[in-house]
Chain A
Amino acid sequence: MTGSPLIRALDRGAVAFIFVLVAIGIAVPLLNLLLPPSSPWHVPTYLVALWGKYVCYAILALSIDLIWGYCGILSLGHGAFFALGGYAMGMYLMRQIGTRGVYADPIRPDFMVFLNWPELPVYWYGFNYFAYAALMVLLVPGLLAFVFGWFAFRSRVTGVYLSIITQALTFALTLAFFRNNFGFGGNNGLTDFKDILGFNVQAQSTRAALFAISVAALIIGFFICRTIVASKLGMVLVSIRDAEARTRFLGYRVESYKLFVFTLSACMAGVAGALYVPQVGIINPSEFAPGNSIEAVIWVAVGGRGTLIGAVLGAVIVNYGKTTFTSGVLAPYWLFVLGSLFVLVTLLLPRGIVGTWRHMWQKHRERQDAIASAHAAADAEAAPKPAE
């Protein structure tokens, strides 16, 4: 635990991981844009969009790992923050449609015209500006997490009770967003997007750019998480996870620490959602579904909680599996696969993929050290004493 916080954050594994991400973030868009479709190295646009979606899921997984893996807060409602960020971005994209909508109203989105709303509700004001929408992407999930966390952590709601409340939170939001008069497009949500910052969201180059930006956001998120977990703040978080009462009696204000990471994590989830929406082209209330949040927790468990890299890998691997499965004859069985995956990982691989790998590597190193020191001792015994 020496050196500046920055040096501690960027250990060898973290630097290598960031390099890999940078390479992917540059290579995939270039292979898509520069190579002709006939080339074997060409990455088709649909894959760029699909992988971009995985990257957004990876950011969400990272945000869950920060609070669950390092601070023991199991949120089963993180999909809510993801979806709120997505809706904030969706509202911006809706306002960009302008007169190109079915009803060609310059201000009101189609669903409002359809519902005979005379004018734009106040809470839709400002979303025609990207900067404002971007601010809301961070602020709305962050504020909700802050208020929710303020009450929950102050009342010392922990463990499974907290998980249940977060689950209820996301379920309540699903119901609210399903309502037409809530003002966010009801059941259909927000879709039919045209432009983002003046660029066509469907265009190949925009998709490539969105992919690169998502990877950049993942790198920044990873770096922030690494900085936190490698600092003394991170040590306190792990202490809270393992022995909350002890941490309190040492004089740490546990609820402030929890509130800080929980809010930060919600903002990260919001960014993930905001990047997700232009790439999939729709946001609707099903994103709030409790099942989504649980699925995200499974990604982290599979990859290895408390490892950060594992969360990213878990999100990509499980979602790759989901894409493969649900597009073939096995489609009806995906939920069984996901369920059994969670059960099997919990039983056989409780540390997850990366966690298990790190554990085995450490054991291996310890064995090597023991052998080396045994050899050294034997050598010292065998060697003639310098005095003789």
Chain B
Amino acid sequence: MANRTTSALLYLDAVSVSFDGFRALNDLSLTVEPGEMRAIIGPNGAGKTTMMDVITGRTRPDKGDVFFDGSFDLTTMDETQIAELGIGRKFQKPTVFEMHTVEDNLRLALKGERQARKTLLWRETPAEQARISEILGIIRLGGVRGRVAGSLSHGQKQWLEIGMLLAQDPKLLLVDEPVAGMTDVETHQTAELLKEINRSKTVVVVEHDMTFVRELGVKVTCLHEGSVLAEGTIDQVSTNERVVEVYLGR
């Protein structure tokens, strides 16, 4: 383990990724402090999801540094190792285990032994059971705990996935478009939920929905063509001329 070089929990410096000549990320630099909640906005193709892929080890950057907690070089690790470090990810499209019950989805996500050998003889402890009930309360799915996840509504699946992130007990949560396809009430509830989570964890939210981002009331980073276009409060960013230009088209 190298010496800590930065106080940031997540540190990206001059990261570039290209796919067949298309530069998805272009010298992207971004830092997220411990305990912070950050909203990432940007038009389609700005590189938001690619950035998540780089952080979680799904995509290797062509160049640049990605450090977690100041000392872990994420560019040399794979998805499993990064997940074990304490980075949880919610996908853009809600991805839950459709054939398992809501409860079992959380059970699988719950922090604990991940080795095949250990899972064969695994027995649930009362502490684990209590933690699952607690999370079910937080994500408001206590009433459907025994139902198969595939039968949930779109919004409920989104929450279940957030609940699975919580169960993993990560230090950093990457949340990709949590309110896509949600009703206004659900959007509002999701904002409350994320704020609640942010009390103990660092959160990075990628979102299109401006009302939602405004409701979060946190520092906003706007990406465009693979690099940072503007950073600041939602009011600063949304009045920035370049941002307006990018969003409305030139």
The interface of chain A, by Cβ under 8 A from chain B, is: 1-5, 227-228, 231-233, 235-236, 238-239, 242-243, 245-254, 256-257, 260
Output the least CB separation between B145 and chain A (Å).
12
Report B-chain residues with C-beta under 8 Å of the C-beta of A254: 80
Report B-chain residues with C-beta under 8 Å of the C-beta of A249: 56, 79, 83, 88-89
Are B95 and A5 interface neighbours, CB within 8 A?
A: no
Instruction: Say yes or no for B119: interface residue by CB 8 A criterion.
Output: yes
Distance in angstroms between the alpha carbons of A232 and B88 in the assembled complex: 21
Are B96 and A246 interface neighbours, CB within 8 A?
A: yes
Q: Contacts A239-B97, A239-B108, A246-B97 hold; do A2 and B124 have CB atoms under 8 A apart?
A: yes
Distance in angstroms between the alpha carbons of A260 and B119 in the assembled complex: 12
User: Which of A4, A246, A256 counts the most B-chain CB atoms under 10 A from its CB?
Assistant: A246
Distance in angstroms between the alpha carbons of A243 and B91 in the assembled complex: 11
22 A-B residue pairs with Cβ-Cβ distance under 8 Å, sorted by A, are A1-B104, A1-B124, A5-B120, A5-B122, A231-B119, A235-B100, A236-B119, A238-B99, A238-B100, A242-B97, A243-B95, A243-B98, A245-B58, A245-B91, A246-B91, A248-B79, A249-B56, A249-B83, A252-B114, A254-B80, A256-B115, A256-B116
Q: Contacts A242-B97, A251-B84 hold; do A231 and B122 have CB atoms under 8 A apart?
A: yes
Are A228 and B120 interface neighbours, CB within 8 A?
A: yes
Are A242 and B99 interface neighbours, CB within 8 A?
A: yes
Distance in angstroms between the alpha carbons of A1 and B110 in the assembled complex: 14
Tally of A-B residue pairs with Cβ under 8 A? Answer: 85
Instruction: Say yes or no for B12: interface residue by CB 8 A criterion.
Output: no
Given A248-B80, A249-B56, 15 further pairs, Cβ under 8 A: A3-B123, A231-B121, A232-B108, A232-B120, A232-B122, A235-B104, A235-B119, A236-B116, A239-B97, A242-B97, A246-B95, A249-B83, A250-B108, A250-B168, A256-B115
Instruction: Say yes or no for B66: interface residue by CB 8 A criterion.
Output: no
Report A-chain residues with C-beta under 8 Å of the C-beta of B168: 250-251
Output the least CB separation between A231 and chain B (Å).
5
Report A-chain residues with C-beta under 8 Å of the C-beta of B229: none
Report B-chain residues with C-beta under 8 Å of the C-beta of A257: 116
Output the least CB separation between A306 and chain B (Å).
9
Contact with A along B70-105 (1 / 0, CB 8 A): 000000000110011000110100011111100110
Output the least CB separation between B17 and chain A (Å).
18
Partner of A235, one of B80, B95, B108, B114: B108
Are B96 and A243 interface neighbours, CB within 8 A?
A: yes
Distance in angstroms between the alpha carbons of A98 and B183 in the assembled complex: 80
Partner of A238, one of B56, B83, B97, B119: B97
Instruction: Say yes or no for B109: interface residue by CB 8 A criterion.
Output: yes
B129: nearest chain-A partner, CB-CB: A2
A6: nearest chain-B partner, CB-CB: B121
Distance in angstroms between the alpha carbons of A248 and B95 in the assembled complex: 12
Report A-chain residues with C-beta under 8 Å of the C-beta of B120: 5, 227-228, 231-233
Partner of A253, one of B58, B80, B89, B107: B80
Distance in angstroms between the alpha carbons of A288 and B164 in the assembled complex: 44
Partner of B121, one of A1, A2, A5, A239: A5
Report B-chain residues with C-beta under 8 Å of the C-beta of A236: 108, 116, 119
Report A-chain residues with C-beta under 8 Å of the C-beta of B91: 245-246
Distance in angstroms between the alpha carbons of A250 and B96 in the assembled complex: 11
Output the least CB separation between A178 and chain B (Å).
37
Distance in angstroms between the alpha carbons of A250 and B167 in the assembled complex: 10
Distance in angstroms between the alpha carbons of A4 and B164 in the assembled complex: 24
Are B89 and A233 interface neighbours, CB within 8 A?
A: no
Report A-chain residues with C-beta under 8 Å of the C-beta of B83: 248-251
Are A242 and B84 interface neighbours, CB within 8 A?
A: no
User: Which of A228, A236, A249 counts the most B-chain CB atoms under 10 A from its CB?
Assistant: A249
Nearest 6 interchain pairs by C-beta: A251-B83, A232-B122, A233-B119, A232-B119, A248-B79, A233-B120
Report A-chain residues with C-beta under 8 Å of the C-beta of B119: 231-233, 235-236
Distance in angstroms between the alpha carbons of A185 and B190 in the assembled complex: 69
Distance in angstroms between the alpha carbons of A245 and B83 in the assembled complex: 12
Distance in angstroms between the alpha carbons of A232 and B98 in the assembled complex: 16
Distance in angstroms between the alpha carbons of A232 and B123 in the assembled complex: 8
Report B-chain residues with C-beta under 8 Å of the C-beta of A248: 79-80, 83
Distance in angstroms between the alpha carbons of A246 and B176 in the assembled complex: 13
Are B123 and A4 interface neighbours, CB within 8 A?
A: yes
Distance in angstroms between the alpha carbons of A16 and B121 in the assembled complex: 24
Distance in angstroms between the alpha carbons of A231 and B116 in the assembled complex: 10
Report B-chain residues with C-beta under 8 Å of the C-beta of A239: 97, 100, 108
Report B-chain residues with C-beta under 8 Å of the C-beta of A251: 80, 83-84, 114, 168
Distance in angstroms between the alpha carbons of A228 and B116 in the assembled complex: 10
Distance in angstroms between the alpha carbons of A107 and B65 in the assembled complex: 66
User: Which of A232, A239, A251, A256 counts the most B-chain CB atoms under 10 A from its CB?
Assistant: A251
Distance in angstroms between the alpha carbons of A242 and B95 in the assembled complex: 10
